[in-house]
Each structure stands twice: as structure tokens, then as C-alpha cells.
Amino acid sequence: GQAQGTKLVVFEELGRASHARSGESNVNPVDVTARLDSELGDAARRLHSISSRAQHRDALSIGRDDEEISAVVHDLEMAKEELQTVNQELFALNQENRSRLDDLARLSTDLEVLLESTGVATLFLDNALNVVRFTPPLLDVFHVLPADLGRPLADLRHRLRDQDLVGDARRVLKHLTPMDREVEGENGKWYLLRMLPYRSPPHAIAGVAVSLIDI
């Protein structure tokens, strides 16, 4: 039969949820979601514990269980509200990122149109002197195709009577100073070769811009 004089002692951790939620305005939504998931797991274990005690409880334990159930339900409601807030923040962040991507796409298109409209043969290289972008007029001097994006400058064939283009580009990167000089093409034309470092946010050196102007 049931043991007489048995007492049920319940230990409940207090203050953790309220403390964790205070000063949370700048917390990463992913961290908040992970914490809420942990709290939901704790609530599920507490409810399971209450359920397992249901067949061996007296009037006093029933009252305590009811209080604990109320506390669990309250915590679940709080977690639900926080989760809704996090979802709203993530939705707003996603919309903002999409807007920024659209702006970048438009800016990239505008840049391409601007470069092509100048009619200047231009080649953009990254910090490793690999091809990043070029304008159509460059095809008159360099043997380069869209498939060559990412290839080293040293691998590109050109029609210039100059074999130190790679050295020039390295010096521009090293000293971060522009360089201008005249070079002759194999067809007898002369070009103004201009190299200068270019930057990308936040003010880091992104590579070298090379331009050739028919003079």
C-alpha cells in the first residue's frame, strides 16, 4: 500500500529565465533561439516529472503540482512571445539583406555600363594579381576571355612589347602608388599604361586597376 507520512519535496530554480532575458536587446537572435529551445526542453522534463508523480500524490502535493504546472505554462507563454519577437527580427533582417543585395546588383550593373562606356581598356586584378574583371576594349591588346576570370596576370598573353607588367603590378601593390608609362604594341601603336591600387570597404587594398589608353 501507499507509505504513510511521505512528503514530496520539489526544487525549482528561480530567477534564471528573468535574469537571462534582462539586457537582451542586443543578443544574437540565433543565441536567443537556442536558449528558448533549452528552456522548452526543461519545461517538458518538468511536466513529465509531474505526470510521473500523479499516481502517488496527496492533497498537498496536488496543490504544489498545480503551482508548478502554472509556472511551467507561464514560462512557455513567455518563451512563445520571445520566439515570435525573434522571428519578426529575423524576418526584418532578411528583408534588409535582400534590399542590400538588390542595391549591390544595381551598383554592379551601373559600374559595368560605366566602364564599357568609357571605351578604355581596363583590367582589374586582385591582391594575388588574378583577373577579376575587364572591359571589352582590352581584347584589342590582351588575349582574355570571360573564362579567364581568376587566372593570374602572368598567364595572359598580350600584344605589348613589354614583359614587366607583372613586376609593375607588384610594385604598385607594394608601394601603393600609381604608375604611368608609355608602352609600344606589336602593331606599332603606343599606349599609356596606367596602374593604380584600388580599395574596397573598409578601406582595404583590393588589388590593382590596369588601363591602356591609345595615344
Residue 102's alpha-carbon distances to 27, 94, 107, 200, in angstroms, are 27, 12, 9, 19
Confidence at residue 93, expressed as pLDDT on a 0 to 100 scale: 84
Say if residue 191 is exposed, middle or buried (CB neighbours under 10 Å; 0-12, 13-18, 19+).
Answer: buried
pLDDT bracket for residue 18 (50, 70, 90): very low
Among 6-15, 29-38, 63-72, 96-105, the minimum mean pLDDT is found in 6-15
200 Cβ contact list (under 8 Å, min separation 6): 206
* H/E segment holding residue 88: helix 59-118
pTM of structure: 0.51
Mean pLDDT of 84-91: 82
